Amino acid sequence: HNEHLQILQALENGNAERASALMLHHIDHIEADLDLRVRSGPALRQALES
């Protein structure tokens, strides 16, 4: 949540360049934490029909 606060502070201070850099850094963190592995299991249709 500290990243969000830093982005807001940069925006409030009118520092668009810093806000943009902080947003990109924040998005990089989010992307790094994504788990995009394909998992075996029931198909979505099967899971919803059960």
pLDDT at 39: 78
CB-based contact 7:19 (threshold 8 Å)? yes
The half-sphere exposure of 34 on its side-chain side, counting CA atoms within 13 A, is 9
CB-based contact 3:29 (threshold 8 Å)? yes
Q: Where are the domains of the chain?
A: 2-36
Residue 18 burial (C-beta neighbours within 10 Å; 0-12, 13-18, 19+): middle
pTM: 0.66
pLDDT at 31: 94
pLDDT at 16: 98
Per-residue pLDDT in tens (0 to 9) along the chain, 50 residues: 899 999 999 999 999 999 999 999 999 999 999 988 877 777 777 878 86
pLDDT at 34: 93
The number of beta carbons lying within 10 Å of the beta carbon of residue 22 is: 20
